[in-house]
Structure 1
Amino acid sequence: GMLTACVPLLGAQWLGAAGHGVLLFSGAAVSALAANAVLARRPLALAPDRVVRAGALVQAVALALAATGLPVALVVAVLLLGVGEGPQLTALFAVRHREAPEHLRGQVFTTGASLKITAFALGVAVAGPLATWSLPGTLALAAGTAAGGALALGRERV
């Protein structure tokens, strides 16, 4: 969610208008779709747990890259962000499916979605005021949060 608060400022700074920041989301979405399409044809030999963790680390690197403030780095960052997000979400669904008892699967998926939306909103709430003060600092905090989440998972199953 932290990136969402930064997108209008990134759009104003690098794309000419705050409203153009949504193009960054489009870049991430296209690369997420492309990454999932590639993995659908050539699946990884990694457990979904590792893909979830790796996806968070890739997103952390992407956010750190965006924090550099370089236009080319920003483009690479949003594409890399999608490469981390797409497979991560697919793997997360696989983990939930594997771990949830069949009779509770709907509840587990719904609760997981609710938690994700809540965390997203909290990220935006924290990042909004911070981004107006320091855009690179906010992106660095987002990168640290993503990396911290991945490291907190450790070697345990997701």
Structure 2
Amino acid sequence: MREVERRKSKAKSGRQKGQDGGAPSLVFERADLERIVADLACTIAPADVVSLMEHEAELRARVAALDPRFALLKRQLTLLLDCLRDHLAGRIQQVPYSTIAHAAAAVLYFGNELDLLPDFLPRLGRLDDAAIVAIACERVAEGLRRYARATGRSWRGIVPLQPRRATAGPC
């Protein structure tokens, strides 16, 4: 969870001045969020996935408690947690590790209550989580599709828009 704080600070430092060179900007653009996802995913080691999944029950309870307005986020996180669990159990062999790293990064970000928008903020606190998870799913859409096919799960609606051509690149 400390890694999320470090990544958040890095994203903020890149946005210190506004577009016109004036006052600092508090607006995060998609590129900032993509950088957070990519940077965090590149730091995920196999032992980090094990440590993260030691908190699986707590994470699933938090997913279950999400407001109904975040139904897509709930479906995405459920798929990501299932993918991580099946990876650790050795049940999936054809999913690239970049998919696992991005899934872990997204779940880790969701699990951190004090991220870009603290989760306790009414109506706002989960918006950054939704954006980060969606971007992570887009970046590894093909790996998640492979996981869904291998486990007989529905893929429909997990990535709501056509994923960008850019995929998870090297760290």
* TM-score relative to the length of structure 2: 0.29
* TM-score, structure 1 as length reference: 0.30
Q: RCO (CA 8 Å, sep 6+): is it higher in 1 or 2? A: 1
